Every structure is written in C-alpha cells, then in structure tokens.
C-alpha cells in the first residue's frame, strides 16, 4: 500500500490506500491510450487536523519519495505531480497554508523529483498551486520566495458555482455570453500575472468544470453543458493556456 493515510475534508474519507499494482495499471492505461497522468500528492501527510482547514505539523515527503522510487524502478509514465489541492492561504478550502511554507515545500518537492529522475526527458513536471480562488497577492508572494520550482501554474474554475441555483437560472447562465466572458477576463488576468511573476512558465486550468461537487443532474450531464465547456476551452487557449 503506497498511500495509507489520505484524508478528504468533504467526504470525511480517511485511510484510503493506493496499491502499487493499481498505480502501474493507471500508467499502462495512459501509455496505451495516449493520455497523460498527472498525480496529486497529499500535502497533509505528516500533519494532524486541528479544526476545519487548520493543520499542525509539517509536510512529510517520505511517502512521495516511495512513490517516486517505485515509478522510476518500473518506468511508469507520469507527466506531472502536484502538491496539495486548494490549500493556498485564506483562499484555501482543504487547508490554509501561508506562501512562505508552501513555497519551501514546493522547492523540497522539486529537489526530490530531480533526485529521482535527474535530467531525464521523462522527468515529470511539477505543477501548482491548484488554487480554487485565484488570489494575485498570494501568488505574487509565492513567486517572491525565489520559487523557480514550478514548471506550470494551475488554478481551478467552476463557472456555475456549486450548481445549487434553480434549474432555469443555471441554463440561462450557460447561454449568457456576458457570463461566459467572465472566465475570459479571469484567464487573461491569470496569464498576464503569471508571465509577470515568472516569465515563460506554462499556465494550466487544472480543474475546469461547470458545477463543483460532481455537477448538477440535468444540467452538466446534458447537451446545454457543451456551451460553457467549448467556450471555456476556447477562452483558455486564447489567453495562453
């Protein structure tokens, strides 16, 4: 069992386990179908939850090191790694960590990846920060920590929010050009900011969904959902993603 103490605040799932054979199956699937596997590493390994979003302790990279050792030994095809999910400062949902600590741990992870893959062309990208609410101040503080570790900057957008609004309102929002253009403005801002903070880095929309929390039945699983999806893809491509 590679990972045995994962914890999800939303589902209250604790003690999840990723078996090594399963990881290899995922890698083989992507190699056979042409997809690329980006793997999210827990930022809570070694920490203890004190209360909602507040954690004590330090990130323990030993579990990640075991994953890397197995991946290199078995020649697994992994395109990239991310550290944590929505844990950036006051915008964090799963946890709230300050830019100085987060930057320090990203630098440690970069070193760990380099130690295992070296300069190999198969070396995975390091991506981050997986923010749920883009905060330019936090991001600027992060890159000010001499953070050259990241190969790509990632953020999340759910154009329909949590999907709990009335059915007709959600449909109207999807078909409203002015609402769809709000993402275009955000994508432009993010790309301009990131190129200013760290010129040349890639910008990825790490999560781009209609409604968070698994969508909204009758909306995000229907034809009308294709409108926001295609528009979002185009806006992201237009603005350097």
Question: Which residues are known to be catalytic?
Answer: 86, 207
CB 2 within 8 A of CB 25: no
Q: Of 60, 63, 133, which Cα lies nearest the Cα of 94?
A: 133
Axis crossing angle, helix 136-143 with helix 177-197, rounded to the nearest 10: 20
DSSP string, the chain: --EEEEE-TTT--EEEEE-HHHHHHHHHHHHHHT---EEEEPS-TT-EEEETTEEES---THHHHHHHHHHHHTT----EEEE-SS-BGGG-SS--B-HHHHHHHHHHHHHHHHHHHTT-TTPPEEEEEEESS--HHHHHHHHTTT----SEEEEEEETTTTS-S-HHHHHHHHT-HHHHHHHHHHHHHHHHHHHHHSTT-EEEEEEEESSTTT--TTTTTSTTHHHHHHHHHHHHHHTT-
């Amino acid at each position: 069992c590679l990972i045995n103490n994962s914890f999800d605040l939303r589902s209250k799932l604790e003690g999840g386990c990723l078996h090594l054979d399963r990881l290899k199956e995922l890698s083989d699937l992507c190699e056979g179908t042409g997809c690329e596997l980006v793997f999210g590493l827990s930022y809570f390994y070694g920490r203890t939850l004190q209360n909602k979003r507040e954690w004590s302790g330090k990130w323990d990279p030993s579990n990640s090191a075991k994953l890397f050792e197995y991946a290199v030994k078995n020649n697994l095809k992994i395109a990239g790694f991310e550290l944590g999910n929505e844990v950036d400062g006051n915008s964090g949902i799963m946890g709230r960590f300050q830019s100085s600590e987060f930057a320090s741990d990203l630098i440690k992870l970069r070193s760990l990846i380099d130690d295992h893959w070296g300069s190999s062309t198969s070396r995975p990208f390091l991506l981050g920060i997986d923010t749920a609410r883009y905060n330019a101040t936090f991001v600027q503080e992060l890159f000010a920590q001499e953070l050259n570790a990241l190969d790509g900057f990632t953020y999340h957008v759910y154009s329909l929010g949590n999907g709990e609004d009335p059915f007709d309102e959600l449909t109207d929002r999807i078909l409203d050009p002015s609402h769809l253009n709000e993402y275009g403005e955000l994508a432009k801002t993010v790309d301009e900011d990131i190129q200013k903070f760290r010129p040349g880095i890639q910008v990825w929309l790490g999560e781009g969904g209609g409604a968070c929390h698994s969508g909204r039945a009758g909306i995000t699983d229907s034809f009308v959902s294709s409108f926001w999806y295609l528009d979002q893809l185009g806006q992201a491509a237009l603005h350097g993603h």
